[in-house]
Amino acid sequence: MTTIAVLGNGRVGGNLATALTRAGHEVTVADRAPGAAADAARTAQIVINATPGAGSLDRLAALHEELRDKILVDVSNATVDGPDGLPADLIYRGASLAEQLQKALPDTRVVKTLNTMLYTVMTAPAALTQPPTAFLSGEDPDAKHTVGELLTDLGWHKEWITDLGGIQTARATEAAILFVPHVIRSTGFAPFAISIAR
């Protein structure tokens, strides 16, 4: 059992918290109440960033002491939304939210994952008609191994998980969010994910 704090109680955070609790972990969900994120992060072994990506950097940088020596799993994408509320562009051009978080939190082990799919797929990957791919980006191999184990608890087969390398590789997976509005407009709001076919 791992003690996990989920920052963000929207659809993504709530979905992950429910699934991780069901898998036997001790999960705390932090809402936007003053001090809730700090309290949750302070007592957790692993912290999941499921806050809206546009404000994630400021929110998490303020928790640098609480996040010291912790694994921070970043599942958010920092985007500028279009008129329809769907992602229209990236905030951090030539970089990524994950890289910005690692730079702001040098004593925290940031791992980027699960940001290339609709939120329902994060906890039910086998529900798709073909195996999806979950990517891992991060500087610390042990942290990525730990996050990979969490993914298996969420139903991900090990062969569906691909370690892309260092944190800079998150630029590629975060850019994949630009597919999302076009896919949704084309086929509707149905579960989907990026899959690497071999």
What per-residue confidence (pLDDT) applies to 85?
86
Name the CA dihedral angle for 157, 166, 118, 130, rounded to a multiple of 10 degrees: -40
The residue length of the chain stands at 198
Q: Say yes or no to pLDDT of 1 above 80.
A: no
Residues 49 and 108: their CA atoms lie apart, in Å, by 13
Between helix 97-104 and helix 53-61 the angle, nearest 10°, is 10
Average pLDDT over residues 175-188: 91
pLDDT digits (tens, 9 = 90+) for 43-59: 999 999 999 999 999 99
List residues bridging with 87 in a β-sheet. Answer: 81
Average pLDDT over residues 169-190: 92
What per-residue confidence (pLDDT) applies to 31?
81
What per-residue confidence (pLDDT) applies to 16?
98
pLDDT above 70: percentage of residues in the chain:
100
What per-residue confidence (pLDDT) applies to 10?
94
